[in-house]
């Protein structure tokens, strides 16, 4: 089965006040091109479809047009889930896609998480779509007050989904979750949410305080709804929890900085090591052993000593000098004789004239 996985589109996002609509259009066109070229069986959008819970109309229109294009040009099943930047209710409303082709859309949590089941030449494939959710929402959904951190939320979602996956089925799980123990890069923003549940308790306490002030018929300042069938019930003192969270947040940022510095030093050390390894690898490695080289040296030394016994190089050099002087003297005398001979020949020629 061919699956195209995408996530974190963040439609509607701005960068320092500059809209990213053109960038998003370019990215979505690339996705459509990939779908056209590779014809996947499933298209996954694993959360953070929008950048905020109340996205601009242009972002909603952009998503709508994209999905219509996918439906018109491809038979791929569509899997959408809400991320922590999305409005769960808003994403859940997109579930009407299920009436127009194979799709599964998950916004709010579901205590009875049923998968989308597809089939290929190798049999059925169950795809469970697990949306992002905070701990307090999971405690209400699964009626489990022991849920205290993101890992507990995922654990409860998986348990709910697993009940509907038959033996022998291949199982694909789509989720939008935190990763604990990962190494961050220099461009990564500090993770403000504490995985251990400190912030979750803080949010739960805040929600509880807000719920105490809700009145029937009066819109909620957060969601705008006038009905409040399930108000939050948090525990703990919000002030103390906020102080603890702020301290943990500061520690997290400091730890992230230390981690980045350590990674930078490690990267520098790695670069130095690689440079030294390259230098060593460029050195010429002798092809002969030291014993072989020593043997050749001894033979050459013996030959030189033998030459020294046959002739004294200093004496030879002196003799060569003397021969050079004799040659020069002889050449001078020869030149003088030739000149004298020429003069005599000229005088004899004049005596023979009438």
Position 66 pLDDT exceeds 90: yes
pLDDT band at 194 (very low <50, low <70, confident <90, very high): very low
The predicted structure's pLDDT at residue 311: 56
The predicted structure's pLDDT at residue 192: 46
Longest C-alpha distance within the chain, in Å? 163
Residue whose C-alpha is closest to residue 128's, from 86, 98, 157, 151: 157
The predicted structure's pLDDT at residue 39: 93
Distances (CA, A) of 64 to 33, 40, 46: 17, 20, 17
pLDDT digits (tens, 9 = 90+) for 148-159: 888 889 999 999
3-state secondary structure of 343: helix
pLDDT band at 334 (very low <50, low <70, confident <90, very high): confident
Residue 121 structure tokens: 């030449």
Looking at per-residue pLDDT, the higher value among 101 and 64 belongs to 64
Mean pLDDT of 121-131: 93
Position 42 pLDDT exceeds 70: yes
According to CATH, the topology of domain 1-177 is Purple Acid Phosphatase; chain A, domain 2 (3.60.21)
Residue whose C-alpha is closest to residue 11's, from 68, 69, 53: 53
Mean pLDDT of 328-349: 66
Looking at per-residue pLDDT, the higher value among 336 and 146 belongs to 146
Mean pLDDT of 24-40: 93
The predicted structure's pLDDT at residue 269: 82
Looking at per-residue pLDDT, the higher value among 229 and 351 belongs to 229
Range scoring the smallest mean pLDDT among 123-132, 192-201, 230-239, 269-278: 192-201
The predicted structure's pLDDT at residue 169: 92
The predicted structure's pLDDT at residue 242: 62
Mean pLDDT of 262-272: 79
Cα gap 56→33, rounded to integer Å: 26
The predicted structure's pLDDT at residue 238: 58
Mean pLDDT of 239-268: 69
Residue 95 DSSP class:
G
| Count of CA atoms in the C-beta half-sphere (13 A) of 22 | 3
Residue 22 structure tokens: 């053109």
Lookup result for tokens 């889930």:
81
Neighbours of 175 (CB within 10 A): 20
The reply to whether the predicted model has a pTM over 0.85 is: no
Q: What mean pLDDT, rounded, does the chain reach?
A: 78
């Amino acid at each position: 089965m061919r699956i195209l996985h995408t996530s974190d589109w963040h439609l509607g996002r701005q960068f320092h006040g500059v809209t990213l609509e053109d960038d998003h259009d370019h990215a979505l066109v690339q996705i459509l091109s990939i779908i056209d070229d590779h014809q996947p069986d499933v298209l996954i959008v694993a959360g953070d479809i929008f950048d905020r819970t109340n996205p601009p109309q242009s972002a909603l229109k952009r998503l709508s047009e994209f999905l219509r294009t996918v439906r018109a040009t491809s038979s791929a099943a569509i899997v959408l889930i809400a991320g922590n930047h999305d409005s769960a209710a808003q994403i859940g409303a997109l579930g009407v896609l299920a009436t127009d082709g194979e799709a599964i859309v998950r916004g709010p949590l579901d205590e009875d998480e049923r998968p989308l089941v597809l089939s290929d030449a190798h049999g059925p494939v169950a795809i469970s779509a697990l949306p992002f959710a905070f701990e307090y929402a999971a405690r209400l959904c699964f009626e489990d007050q022991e849920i205290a951190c993101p890992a507990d939320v995922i654990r409860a979602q998986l348990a709910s989904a697993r009940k509907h996956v038959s033996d022998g089925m291949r199982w694909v799980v789509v989720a939008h979750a935190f990763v604990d123990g990962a190494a961050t890069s220099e461009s990564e923003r500090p993770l403000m949410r504490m995985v251990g549940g400190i912030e979750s308790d803080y949010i739960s306490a805040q929600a509880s305080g807000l719920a105490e002030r809700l009145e029937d018929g009066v819109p909620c300042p957060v969601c705008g709804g006038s009905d409040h069938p399930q108000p939050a019930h948090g525990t703990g003192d919000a002030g103390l929890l906020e102080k603890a969270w702020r301290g943990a947040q500061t520690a997290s940022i400091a730890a992230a900085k230390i981690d980045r510095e350590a990674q930078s030093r490690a990267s520098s050390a790695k670069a130095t090591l690689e440079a030294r390894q390259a230098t060593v690898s460029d050195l010429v490695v002798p092809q002969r052993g030291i014993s072989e080289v020593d043997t050749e040296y001894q033979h050459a030394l013996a030959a030189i000593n033998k030459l020294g016994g046959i002739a004294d190089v200093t004496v030879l050099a002196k003799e060569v000098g003397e021969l050079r002087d004799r040659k020069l003297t002889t050449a001078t005398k020869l030149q003088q004789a030739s000149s004298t001979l020429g003069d005599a020949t000229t005088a004899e020629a004049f005596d023979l004239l009438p």
